[in-house]
Amino acid sequence: MGKYGFHRSHLLRKGRFSEPGRAYLVTAVTHGRERLFAGWRVGRVVARELAAAPAETLAWVLMPDHLHWLLVLGEAALGSVVGALKSRSALAVNGRLGRQGPVWQKGYHDHAVRGEEDPRALARYVVANPVRAGLVERVGDYPLWDAVWL
């Protein structure tokens, strides 16, 4: 909740622009920061949905309670792509776990990759998240990530 007792997640959408062919770094967080993806079996259902997404995936890592996704948009708007991924993956995760209810928090954070930014450096940053979080010592020891350059 914000300072005045109301959520401000709607402000994340204000001024959002989707540009076909542009790379975006997206972060989506699980509902209540629940650690739904601490086990790789549940995470694999999200990985299948990432592979089917209507965007070119450059890199991703699924942390226990959030997702980092580096993608290049096709013709579909960013909100549509992320919304579809969250919807499809929520159905798959809930089915796998035999549960109901929200999997993802409303909204997401996005960063449009600028021309001077190196997508490979961003991909290395994304997939190194489990190392920085102390979950593993080496990226290769973590099962829930992928990048096109590997």
Report the pLDDT value the prediction gives residue 14, as an integer from 0 to 100: 52
- Summarised one tens digit per residue, pLDDT across range 36-84 is 999 899 999 999 999 999 999 999 999 999 999 999 999 999 999 999 9
Task: Let me know if residue 42 belongs to a domain.
Answer: yes
Task: Let me know if residue 5 belongs to a domain.
Answer: no
Mean pLDDT value across residues 125-143: 97
Task: Let me know if residue 3 belongs to a domain.
Answer: no
Task: Let me know if residue 4 belongs to a domain.
Answer: no
Task: Let me know if residue 69 belongs to a domain.
Answer: yes
Domain count across the chain: 1
- Summarised one tens digit per residue, pLDDT across range 13-31 is 455 678 999 999 999 999 9
Task: Let me know if residue 79 belongs to a domain.
Answer: yes
Q: What is the 3-state secondary structure (H, E, C) of 13-76?
A: CCCCCCCCCCEEEEEEEEHHHCCCCCCHHHHHHHHHHHHHCCEEEEEEEEECCEEEEEEEECCC
Structural domain that includes position 117: 10-147
Identify the band that residue 105 occupies on the pLDDT scale cut at 50, 70 and 90: very high
| 36 vs 10 pLDDT, higher one | 36
Report the CATH number at residue 101. Answer: 3.30.70.1290
